[in-house]
Amino acid sequence: MTWLITGGAGYIGAHVTRAMAAAGKSVVALDDLSAGVPERLPADVPLVRGSTLDGDLLTRVVAEHGVTGVVHLAARKQVAESVAEPTRYYRENVGGLATLLDAVAAAGVRRLVFSSSAAVYGDPEVGLITEDTPCAPVNPYGETKLAGEWLVRAAGAAHGISTVCLRYFNVAGAAAPELADTGVFNIVPMVFDRLTRDEAPRIFGDDYPTPDGTCVRDYIHVADLAEAHLEAARRLDAGEVAGDLTLNIGRGEGVSVRELITVIGEVTGDRRPPLVEGRRPGDAPRAVASAERAAEALGWRARRGVREMVASAWEGWRLHHAG
């Protein structure tokens, strides 16, 4: 049994690829390398360069590698960019998924793990977000992830594909320095980038209805996230998932942006106070997961804390930005 991992050379994708390969699963990665880095992958994992919008390529890859399951991570994922370029996000995130599902269904592949997001929930006024919390995304990125879930479930029902949708909360950290996030889009590398350039970190809005006025998020170590994918694949391979399953992947603990910057200052030794700027479009005040259903369905819980996320990410940042 071989698993195709789309976006497999990306930050999250490479962690998933390595975790699954280390567990003895046969894997093949597909990535257009717009954000992926081939060197992140183990030497014995095949890498196919290409897009999920290329149906002919997907058909060939599935056939040539004997693919029996798919982990679909390839997508654009920046909130502000999605607000500025909504048609691009729908085309690549939803259109690419539809093309992939056509190839999967035609080849008789019956297992799929879909990379979703807490952005599907929008701005719910609840202490902990459960999988039953109504979905009301507040930006095009979240809309495309929710539409993706709908599409996955519909295709699964139509073609007998067992599916697991994993709703990620905020991902940080690195399992090894060489796997660290090299993009400057998520909050931890964004702060690192500012400090490296001898500039103060930025906070986008301190007037949210939260204890310290900054956004509150549930941060999860990328290695924990990779283990959740591995457990989902194992359950699908074992036939323990019938139909569709949707799970939050988080720690169940909220950390504000200001608190996170404090931890970053402690880890890096650069404790300069942050600059406060205006809110970014599309940011929700609070998003913290209830991950109990993932524990019940997969036997999975996050094991790593925020300080470990920051310390491992900092080690990777220094490797990639030496000098």
Tokens of 287: 């998003």
Same fold flag, 2-171+220-249 and 172-217+252-320: no
Q: In the chain, pLDDT over 90 holds for what percent of residues?
A: 90
Q: Which segments of the chain have a pLDDT < 50?
A: none
184-221 pLDDT, tens digit per residue, is 888 999 999 999 999 999 999 999 999 999 999 999 99
pLDDT at 282: 66
Fold of the domain built from segment(s) 2-171+220-249: Rossmann fold (3.40.50)
Question: pTM, whole model, 2 decimals?
Answer: 0.95
35-79 pLDDT, tens digit per residue, is 999 999 999 999 999 999 999 999 999 999 999 999 999 999 988
Q: What's the rounded Cα separation, in Å, for the pair 211 and 294?
A: 28
Backbone angles phi, psi at 51, to 5 degrees: -110, 150
pLDDT at 277: 96
Cα 169 to Cα 52, 174, 180, 182, 188, distances in angstroms: 24, 16, 18, 19, 14
Q: How many CB atoms lie within 10 A of CB 251?
A: 23
Please tell me which residue in 141, 168, 208, 219 is annotated as part of the active site. Answer: 141
pLDDT at 323: 58
Cα 279 to Cα 62, 138, 198, 205, distances in angstroms: 44, 14, 23, 4
**Looking at the domain covering 172-217+252-320, what would its CATH class be?**
alpha beta
Any bridge partners for residue 26, and if so which?
A: 2
- Helix %, strand %, coil % for the chain, to 5? 45, 20, 40
With residue 151 as reference, give the H or E element that holds it.
helix 140-159
Hey, where are the domains in the chain?
Answer: 2-171+220-249, 172-217+252-320
89 is catalytic: no
